[in-house]
Amino acid sequence: MLISLGIQFHDAPAFPSDMMDHGPGFAEISSSAHQAMHPALPWVGLGLVVIALVLAWPWYMAIRRKRLIENIPTSKVKGVAIGLSEVKGAARRSEPFVSYLAGAQTVWYSYNISEHWSRTVTETYTDSDGKTKTRTRTESGWKTVQHKEVTGLFYLEDDTGSIRINPRRAKIEARQVFSKQCRASDPLYYGKGPPGRVSDSTGRRSFTEEAIVLNDALYVMGSARIRKDVVAAEIAYDEDDPLFLISTRDESKISSGYGIKAFFCALFGVLLTGVAAGVLAVNAYRVEPTEPTVLMTVGGACLGYLAGLLLLYAMLMYNGLVRVRERIGKAWSMIEVQLKRRADLIPRLASVVKGYTDYEREVQEGLAELRADALAGRAQAPKGDQLKSAERVADGQTALLTQVLAVVEAYPELKSSELYLNLQRELSDTEDRIALARSFYNDTVTAYNERIATLPDALFAGPMKMGRVGLYQIDAFERRPVEVDLSTPDDDAAETQDADPPA
């Protein structure tokens, strides 16, 4: 017979027995549950998936910058070499800028003046019955009415010297030196702010200023390059480097800040992935959110997101190790270049003393022997035999320079030669360059060796066949430094006026 919920046959019930056990009305409840699924749920789920995937990018950048800071050793100013470098010191400028609001002496400052506004807006809308109605609401906010950033070249100084910083296009993290909100009755309102007012102004203004104050302790990571005006390094923007940062914060706080950012990006990414998976599963299976199928889907999605982050992290570790190894090669090539420059300088020095002694012939013979061990300028991490060869070349050059300079000491009138004075300046500059290149190389090697010996990088160093790299030790050069006489010809003449001329 025909009933309200279905058709009753004589040989079978209208519904299966398991459905009947749930009691009257189950079919209506199940049907209403199906109809309760909102058609926008799939789009909500997909939107959450997109947001979770987008969060993977700031996570990646934060981890990358954190590892970059950890991988690059801090260099002394005197030891800065060409390439991405990390230095610390005090901010210096011969003519500091006076900040606009705080009146502090600075090397960089930026101020912002904003004004508060508020207005009532009347709008029309259509209600659920199709009737047009009006309502009012209040809008408010802050509008910038004046902003300025003042910057210029400045110096960073530590206990070994100073280096010029060009802050153009740098990410600057300065400290706040001024913050105040006031009304029009305050002299600051118009004294430092513009004379007019914004539309719907409430008569309140906010004044804030950030600055790098003179003598502030700075952390700087950027690309070191040779200046165009003098033979000295400066740190400036390089589009090939992943970071150019000037900060008043400590290195540990900067690194931990990137770590915290990465943690929360990963956390929210996992949570959004779980919620998205739950929404999509409920919509697909038409079940309650607490059903095992939904819970398993949520768990699998979260694990999948974490697995993706781990894969990205493994890629970062691999690329980081490769970059550190490439940096070793770059540092090594710098040593080779400077040793070659030194070798080219020795014959020119020898030619100046030609005729005074037979040392010039001995120097030429020594150079011929050293050419057999000349370096090829390879931009890759050296092996043990290459290190020993470079040490032998450097020690041999030192011995030859000692011979040449001994002639100059024996015949002081050579110091009045303009050619010799120019070569002397080149020699002094070359010795500084060698010291810088050696320091940069050893610091980079130390950071690399520490990295491949600690977890988690040690897990990748083995399969990648990344072994320890030796430090560049030139004991003879360190213990017998080349003496470069920088006295003026007049001083030499005064001290040697009674000396016999050369035969």
Render pLDDT for 394-450 as a digit per residue (tens, 0 to 9): 666 666 666 566 656 655 665 556 666 666 666 666 676 676 677 777 777 777 777
- Enumerate the domain spans of the chain: 81-251, 312-495
Residues 6+ apart with CB under 8 A from 322: none
Q: Which residue in 126, 123, 144, 142 sits closest to 134, CA to CA?
A: 123
**pLDDT category of residue 491 using cuts at 50, 70 and 90:** very low
The CATH architecture annotation of domain 312-495 reads Up-down Bundle (1.20)
Per DSSP, what are the bridge partners of residue 402? none
- Does residue 263 register a pLDDT over 70? yes
Residue entry with tokens 């400077």 = 338
Q: Per DSSP, what are the bridge partners of residue 219?
A: 88, 247
Say whether pLDDT at 451 is over 60: yes
Q: What is the pLDDT of residue 219?
A: 96
Between 232 and 489, the higher pLDDT residue: 232
CA-to-CA distance for 38 and 32, rounded, in angstroms? 12
> Is the model's pLDDT at 272 over the cut of 50?
yes
- Cβ–Cβ < 8 Å for 86, 220: yes
3-state secondary structure of 195: coil
Residues in the chain: 503
Query: So what's the pLDDT on residue 407?
Result: 59
Confidence band, pLDDT 50/70/90 cuts, at residue 370: very low
Q: Are 474 and 391 in contact (CB under 8 A)?
A: yes
Return the HEC string of 441-462.
HHHHHHHHHHHHCCCCCHHHHC
Cβ atoms of residues 307 and 362 within 8 Å: no
Q: Which helix (H) or strand (E) holds 493?
A: helix 489-495
Which of the four pLDDT bands, split at 50, 70 and 90, describes residue 254? very high
The separation between CA 110 and the C-alpha centre of its own chain, rounded to angstroms, equals 22
CA separation, residue 69 to residues 218, 320, 459 (Å) = 14, 11, 21
Find out whether 207 and 179 touch, Cβ atoms under 8 Å.
Answer: yes
Mean pLDDT taken over the chain: 75
Measured in whole angstroms, the distance separating CA 414 from the mean position of its chain's CA atoms is: 50
d(CA 194, CA 179) in angstroms, rounded, equals 17
Strands (E), 93-199: 97-98, 105-126, 132-150, 154-158, 161-165, 171-173, 175-183
Spell out the alpha helix ranges (H) of 127-223: 187-191
Q: Kindly report which listed range (132-146, 342-356, 363-377, 461-475) carries the lowest average pLDDT score.
A: 363-377
How many percent of the chain have pLDDT more than 70?
64
**pTM for the model:** 0.63
**Cβ atoms of 440 and 80 closer than 8 Å:** yes
Confidence of residue 72 (pLDDT cuts 50, 70, 90): confident
Q: Among 93, 113, 99, 203, which Cα is nearest to 156's?
A: 93
Identify any residues that bridge with 173 across adjacent strands, giving them in sequence order. Answer: 247
Largest CA distance in the chain: 141
Six-digit token pair at 10?
Answer: 């004589």
Instruction: Give the DSSP H or E segment for 89.
Output: strand 83-92
Q: CA–CA separation, 41 vs 330, rounded Å? A: 54
Rounded to a whole number of angstroms, the distance between the first and last alpha carbons of the chain is 141
Question: What gap in Å lies between CA 171 and CA 319, rounded to an integer?
Answer: 24
106-137: b or e for each residue (b if 16 or more CB lie within 10 Å)?
bbbbbbbbbbbbeeeeeeeeeeeeeeeeeeee
Which contiguous run of DSSP H or E holds residue 233?
strand 233-236
State residue 31's pLDDT score: 42
